Copies of this chain bind each other. A is one copy, B any other.
């Protein structure tokens, strides 16, 4: 599906009199230095993409990768053109889960083609921000569009990290609360989500570093902007490592808490048992059948025995309380 297609010239959207999918005409319009076509596709069919590939001379292996989602983030050069894959991430609050999509970029001297897969990561805001001219980057050629989209996607990562940071904080509170909690399952799930984010963020650093270093013929004025994105990625990857290590520590602490609880329960149970078995012994003694047991014939022998039991139980209670067993 074609989402949008436009020709940019001198920092603004230029009017081209043709259908959105009349690619050759569009491309032919990008005649001047800095002109470029930005074509946005959403889960295109093989046919749609092949039409585009023919018009912009895309490499068949790159086209194949762009068609099937589930690629790793990567940057590859195919005879003068670049092929970039970036993962999109968003946080689904209801399930504490991170979902992923994918955007593939074909970057040539006169075009940028973005192919998006997955719900929840529309690129329109990035295009709008760029067109608004707030950052005056459009005059820098196709990489300005790449920057706009990648920056927008990386901002999405930041949101995801905030969601996950909050989740880890909750786990932390839960582990050290006195309630019996099933934290290990939640820790496991968060670790899996973090690993997913890691797989999206880590491999993206290398391509962005290359852009920030001005490789691949990027305009020097754009370099600080890509460095800014790289800085965001570094900060995110630091947060990932921090959360992972917090989860590890939290899990270990959880194990210690379980062990502690086991011990406390055992002592509580034992103290409770003592409160029953000791009076049982007393009852056993007065249940013996000796002929000569003076207490048995006392008028208040029975109440005395109950009192004895009560006193012993109370004494044990106080003793166990003091030793912290009850």
State the A residues within 8 Å of B (CB).
59, 61, 71-72, 74, 76, 78, 172, 176, 180, 182-185, 187-188, 191-192, 195, 199, 224-225, 227-228, 231, 234-235, 238, 242, 245-246, 249-263, 265-267, 269-270, 272-274, 276-281, 283-302, 305-306, 309, 324
Q: Given A281-B279, A285-B283, A301-B292, is A269 in contact with B272 using a C-beta cutoff of 8 Å?
A: no
Q: Given A61-B224, A253-B187, is A295 in contact with B290 using a C-beta cutoff of 8 Å?
A: yes
Can you give 23 contacting A-B residue pairs, CB < 8 Å? A72-B231, A74-B231, A76-B224, A188-B249, A191-B245, A255-B255, A258-B260, A274-B276, A276-B281, A277-B277, A279-B284, A280-B280, A280-B281, A280-B284, A283-B285, A284-B287, A286-B290, A287-B288, A289-B289, A289-B296, A290-B296, A291-B296, A291-B301
Q: Which residue of chain B is the closest to A199 with respect to CB atoms?
A: B238
Q: Which of B71, B185, B272 contacts A270 (CB under 8 A)?
A: B272
Q: Which of B72, B188, B242 contacts A250 (CB under 8 A)?
A: B188
CA A293 to CA B301, docked complex, whole Å: 9
A76 engages B227 (CB within 8 Å): yes
Q: Given A225-B61, A277-B276, A296-B291, is A285 in contact with B256 using a C-beta cutoff of 8 Å?
A: no
B276 engages A184 (CB within 8 Å): no
- 12 further A-B contacts with Cβ under 8 Å, apart from A261-B263, A262-B263, are A74-B231, A176-B185, A185-B253, A187-B249, A187-B253, A191-B245, A195-B242, A258-B263, A267-B269, A285-B305, A288-B289, A290-B296
Residues of chain B contacted by A265 (CB below 8 angstroms): 263, 266-267, 270
Q: Which of B185, B242, B262, B288 contacts A266 (CB under 8 A)?
A: B262
A290 engages B277 (CB within 8 Å): no
Residues of chain B contacted by A305 (CB below 8 angstroms): 285, 288, 290
A306 engages B285 (CB within 8 Å): yes
CA A283 to CA B305, docked complex, whole Å: 14
B180 engages A324 (CB within 8 Å): yes
B272 engages A274 (CB within 8 Å): yes
Q: Which of B72, B238, B283 contacts A235 (CB under 8 A)?
A: B72
Chain B proximity of A89: nearest CB distance (Å): 16
CA A116 to CA B293, docked complex, whole Å: 85
Residues of chain B contacted by A284 (CB below 8 angstroms): 279-280, 283-284, 287
Q: Which residue of chain B is the closest to A76 with respect to CB atoms?
A: B227
B184 engages A253 (CB within 8 Å): yes
CA A306 to CA B187, docked complex, whole Å: 49
Residues of chain B contacted by A195 (CB below 8 angstroms): 242, 245-246
B292 engages A299 (CB within 8 Å): yes
